[in-house]
Chain A
Amino acid sequence: MPYLALIFGMERGIYMELTSAMTHSIAKLSGIRLSDSEAAAMTRDLGGVVGYFDLLNELDTRDVPPRAHVLPLVNHWREDAVTPSAPRDELIANAPVRRDGYVVAPKTFEGGGSS
């Protein structure tokens, strides 16, 4: 199955139609609490965005080989040479709370993030 089709399920003709349940699921994953009226508005707005992307499905891509990237670039890499890091105070200046050069976050425990 072509690469992108595998991801988006296009091969099976599955096009995205945003439902209220999906909006709630995205909000949960994003750590955002939505009221029912906000969720309804969000479903409408996001649905418009997703629908806009459906325009792509109208293109005839039968003769376009599957590819993973839009640019004709491969192996864009650099040598393993250290460059100076940026000044800490500037980098973390936008964090709402800082202490001793750390960014302060709400209480969390180590290793709870990824798989």
Chain B
Amino acid sequence: MPQYETVVGLEIHVELATATKVFCGCTTAFGGEQNTHVCPVCMGLPGALPVLNRQAVEYAVRAGLALNCNITRNAVFDRKHYFYPDLPKAFQISQLYLPLCTDGWVEVFGKRVRIREIHMEEDAGKLVHDPWTDSTLVDFNRCGVPLIEIVTQPDMRTPEETVETVRQIRAALSMLGVSDCKMQEGSLRVDVNLSVRPMGSTALGTRTEMKNINSLKSIGRAVAGETARQIEQIELGRPIIQQTRRWDDNKNASMAMRSKEDAHDYRYFPEPDLAPLSLSDEWIESRRAALPELPEQKRVRYPAEFGLSAYDTDILVSEKTLCELFERTAAICGKPKDAANWIMGEILAALKERGESPDQLTLAPEALARIITLQSGGEINRNAARQTLTAALAGETSDVDEYIKANQLAMVGDASALMEIVKQVINADPDSDAAYRSGKEKVFGFLMGQAMRALKGKGDPGRLKELLKQGLG
């Protein structure tokens, strides 16, 4: 059996985080009652005219700049025609001939995955199957929500490279704040174009497109699964049919949805209701200058400036909220490694346990910084720090000092309070006292343990040891 090589290209649809739709003022808020976030424009009623949302252009340009694209000075919108119940105008406003961004790249495992283009378009509505009447219900609330579609070149060769490419793009978009990038909720949707070819061949094989992949893990499984299916077809002497397939993560297999229509069947033509864009070099450069620090820059800075490991850095820079919490906490308490350790440990574990994503994190950096300061100063022990952090994460307290006081979590360092305990421990066990005096040093450890237990672990060990020796002497 010959060796095969997988060739993967991606189409990534990303919902932009604007307040309103791309061509009308309807809200993009998630979860409204069906057909309540709609108007004549996004419902495609006759005579309604679209007007472009400036913020959507800003976000799309920001994404293009961060992904090393050229920005098209005179971008134009086009109509893409197809008939489907989720598309009330019977065409989607998109960009075919002059997309907003072209020829970018993202670095993945030290090599460049090229980005062919990023174009702007509008989202479609949502179809709900009604099992009672065996019909389809249409909700147009998502119709007209601004999207960018990021199209890569077929530059990925393995499941790992494919997943990492999506991770890198997602991290950049997250840092830019142009989208909330939630794969599970569909604000970032990945379609995988995949073909296989004999190793060493430069021609591309017939490709399939897989949709419905809604997590990073399932992207990797989909690439591996479809590769195996295509190789099996070829080995059996069957042709690969160019088609759209639906990835079923539970079955770990893809199912044919429909044969791919030819591109010209969409009958694209320039959208006459929208004026072209005209972006000056100054306009574009001012947006470039305003870009925040990007993940690839943080990836270099965190290890150099804070001494973080590559692994920790990688996890932190993949989420905007984690970066912000880390950087602000480190700035306040001056202990970046502790900040990273708490985030990588307790905080991510707490999120996982609650099934939440990092953007749902509400922990104030001031609270985390205070906990780190108190623990490193010996004023609370690790258990108390953990308990306080858990309470702060759950929103039970916003004042770390108050919580520690109310729950008596502070270390006891006060000499008279410690001496009181020492006396109690010695009086409770006069035999050990005598044993110690007769030279049995091992008894000292036992008495320390008793005293610590009475203090619920919150005794300052150094001072306690000193006082116990004094009490026994």
- Do they bind each other? yes
Chain A contact residues, CB within 8 Å of chain B:
3-4, 6-7, 29-31, 68-71, 73-83, 85-86, 88, 91-92, 97, 99-115
Interface bits B232-252 vs A (CB < 8 Å: 1, else 0): 000000000000101000000
- Nearest-neighbour CB distance to chain B for A91, whole angstroms, equals 5
Selected from B20, B74, B244, the residue in CB contact (under 8 A) with A81 is B20
Selected from A29, A91, A99, A111, the residue in CB contact (under 8 A) with B40 is A91
Q: Which residue of chain A is the closest to B257 with respect to CB atoms?
A: A112
Q: Is the CB of A111 within 8 A of B257?
A: yes
Residue numbers in B under 8 Å from A103 (CB-CB) = 35, 85, 137-138, 140
Q: Is the CB of A76 within 8 A of B52?
A: yes
Considering the complex of A and B, which 3 residue pairs feature the smallest CB-CB distances, nearest first? A83-B25, A113-B84, A80-B55
Q: Is the CB of A77 within 8 A of B52?
A: yes
Selected from A7, A74, A91, A106, the residue in CB contact (under 8 A) with B268 is A7
Residue numbers in A under 8 Å from B197 (CB-CB) = none
Given contacts A73-B275, A102-B139, A104-B137, contact A78 B52 (CB under 8 A): yes
A114 to B80 CA separation, bound complex (whole angstroms): 9
Selected from A68, A70, A109, the residue in CB contact (under 8 A) with B127 is A109
Q: Which residue of chain B is the closest to A68 with respect to CB atoms?
A: B76
Chain B contact residues, CB within 8 Å of chain A:
11, 18-20, 24-27, 33-40, 43, 45, 51-57, 74, 76, 80-87, 92, 97-98, 124, 126-130, 133-140, 191, 209, 211-212, 244, 246, 257-258, 260-261, 265, 267-270, 272, 274-279
Q: Is the CB of A115 within 8 A of B275?
A: no
A30 to B33 CA separation, bound complex (whole angstroms): 31
Given contacts A68-B74, A88-B36, contact A115 B136 (CB under 8 A): no
Q: Is the CB of B258 within 8 A of A112?
A: yes
Q: Is the CB of A76 within 8 A of B35?
A: no
Q: Is the CB of B127 within 8 A of A91?
A: no
Q: Which residue of chain A is the closest to B138 with respect to CB atoms?
A: A103
